[in-house]
Amino acid sequence: MWKSMSEEEKAPYEVKSGQRKVEYEKQMKAYNKKQENSANGIGDDHEAIRRKLKDPRKNLRNWIKGDPCVSNWTGVICTMPQPDGFLHIQELRMLNLNLTGKLAPELGQLSNLTVLNFMWNHNITGSIPKEIGNIKSLKFLLLSGNQLSGPLADELGFLPNLLMFQVDLNQITGSLPKSFVNLISCRHFHMNNNSISGQIPSELSSMPALIHFLLDNNNLMGNLPPEFSQMPKLRILQLDNNNFGGTEIPASYGNISNLVKFCQRKKRINGLMVQMVKL
């Protein structure tokens, strides 16, 4: 059939074939460059992440040089091939691997990441890298049950797709950043059992998707913002065991139509506020 076609009829097919060849050569060139850089240890962000962690049980023993997706590194889940021709890290599942050490700033360069899970390693220390705020695709930031410390960076408030933000049972200090109001997709906000201090920013009442707001067992102080009554989807609000002032729960809290549980109690000051549970 091809032989019987005129040059004019062949022209569109030849153009398309040429375009595919150029795109293929471009992808192969990028792939070969990536492989060369990996072999030489150049720009290897994955190795930087590994070096910050300590692995006494050797769970990450297959984290060696090379492509983590092709080599099936433990806890690394990758995407299907992307338009650039590569697989990219989509999830880091480091749950309960007895890891110690620190979280590397290079985590922020995993631009296709949707799940970052280091829960229940118990002994990961240091601060939460502000660079994680660069991962705009991130949906689950799960760091509960470690020894992370220091304040929460403002940059962590600029994650538009984040659904779940869990850093409970750590040693986080400092105040809650007002930038968290930009977590417009966040449904679960678990900051309980830390040492977070200061006033709860009233601006956080503008988080439109929030269902669980857990801040119990911290060092928060000041008054409870009445604006929380404006949170349309809030179901659980836990604020007990903090240092809040005042003697009354804002009357407007009775207007939170979807609320099924609210707990608030003062600690380390005279008198107790009544713990209220609405079911």
224 belongs to a structural domain: yes
pLDDT score of 250: 79
Q: Give the type of residue at 203.
A: E
| Better-scored residue on pLDDT, 36 or 235 | 235
Question: In CATH, what number is assigned to the domain containing residue 174?
Answer: 3.80.10.10
Q: What is the pLDDT of residues 20-68, one digit of tens each?
A: 767 766 666 655 555 544 443 333 678 889 999 999 999 999 988 778 8
Dihedral angle sign, alpha carbons of residues 121, 124, 130, 131: negative
Is residue 189 within 8 A of residue 165, CB to CB? The reply is: yes
For the stretch 166-204, what's the b/e string if a residue is b when 16 or more beta carbons lie within 10 angstroms of its beta carbon? bbbbbebbbebbebbbbbeebbbbbbbbbebbeebbbbb
pTM of the entire predicted model: 0.79
Give the total number of structural domains in the chain: 1
Q: Which residues pair with 272 in a beta bridge?
A: none
8 belongs to a structural domain: no
% of the chain with per-residue pLDDT over 90: 57
97 belongs to a structural domain: yes
223 belongs to a structural domain: yes
Domain span holding position 70 = 20-263
Q: What is the DSSP string of 212-269?
A: EEE--SSEEEEPPPGGGGG-TT--EEE--SBEE-SSS--GGGGG-TT--EEE--B-SS
Answer whether residue 245 shows pLDDT above 80: no
66 belongs to a structural domain: yes
Q: What is the DSSP string of 21-47?
A: HHHHHHHHHHHHHHHHHHHTT-S-HHH
Q: Which of 199, 196, 215 shows the shortest CA–CA distance to 264?
A: 215
271 belongs to a structural domain: no
Considering 72-76, 189-193, 266-270, the range whose residues carry the highest mean pLDDT is 189-193
How much is the average pLDDT of 218-234? 89
75 belongs to a structural domain: yes
Pairing between β-strand 149-150 and β-strand 197-198 as defined by DSSP bridges: unpaired
Q: Give the type of residue at 89.
A: I
154 belongs to a structural domain: yes
Lowest mean pLDDT, pick from 45-49, 136-140, 207-211: 45-49
